[in-house]
């Protein structure tokens, strides 16, 4: 079964434009540019995006748009608050990151289309719970 990994990503939606802000994927040069443009340290920008701090959100939009428009200046980024949505992509299936079953950082996600599994070996029957067999001791012969 695929596993989903929760991340520190934020999906910034400006109108019809979706921008994935993934702090781990931002280049050093981009973080320095954002720090200079905002006068905030990078950790404050990352935290600010998650909390909706508009100077941080604007800087994130700028640096992500700058990848396709290298001449874009921070003051050229403009949008209305009504056009802005900050979303958690980790709860949106279309943005899930799936990893192999052997990844210890992931967790099992139930398949909504799969039938529910019923445990074949039930510890309880109609008479109530089964008693546990005693543990072998040094005086109890083990066969």
Residue 121 is predicted with a pLDDT of 53
Instruction: For 90-137, write each residue's pLDDT tens digit.
Output: 888 877 877 665 545 555 555 556 566 555 555 555 555 555 555 555
Mean pLDDT of all residues belonging to the chain:
80
pTM: 0.64
**For the chain, where are the E strands, in sequence order?**
3-4, 10-14, 17-21, 84-87, 98-99, 107-108, 124-125, 128-129
* Segments making up each domain of the chain, as ranges: 11-84
- Three-state SS for 106? coil
Over residues 68-84, the mean pLDDT reads 96
CB-based contact 102:108 (threshold 8 Å):
no
């Amino acid at each position: 079964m695929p596993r989903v990994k929760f991340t520190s990503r934020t999906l910034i939606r400006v109108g019809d434009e979706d921008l994935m802000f993934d702090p781990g994927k931002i280049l050093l040069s981009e973080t320095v540019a954002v720090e200079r443009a905002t006068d905030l340290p990078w950790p404050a920008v990352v935290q600010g995006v998650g909390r909706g701090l508009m100077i941080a959100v604007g800087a994130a939009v700028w640096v992500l748009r700058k990848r396709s428009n290298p001449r874009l200046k921070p003051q050229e980024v403009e949008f209305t608050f009504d056009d802005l949505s900050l979303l958690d992509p980790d709860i949106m299936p279309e943005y899930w990151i799936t990893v192999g079953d052997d990844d210890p950082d992931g967790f099992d996600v139930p398949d909504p289309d799969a039938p529910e599994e019923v445990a074949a070996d039930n510890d309880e029957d109609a008479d109530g719970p089964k008693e546990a067999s005693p543990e072998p001791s040094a005086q109890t012969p083990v066969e």
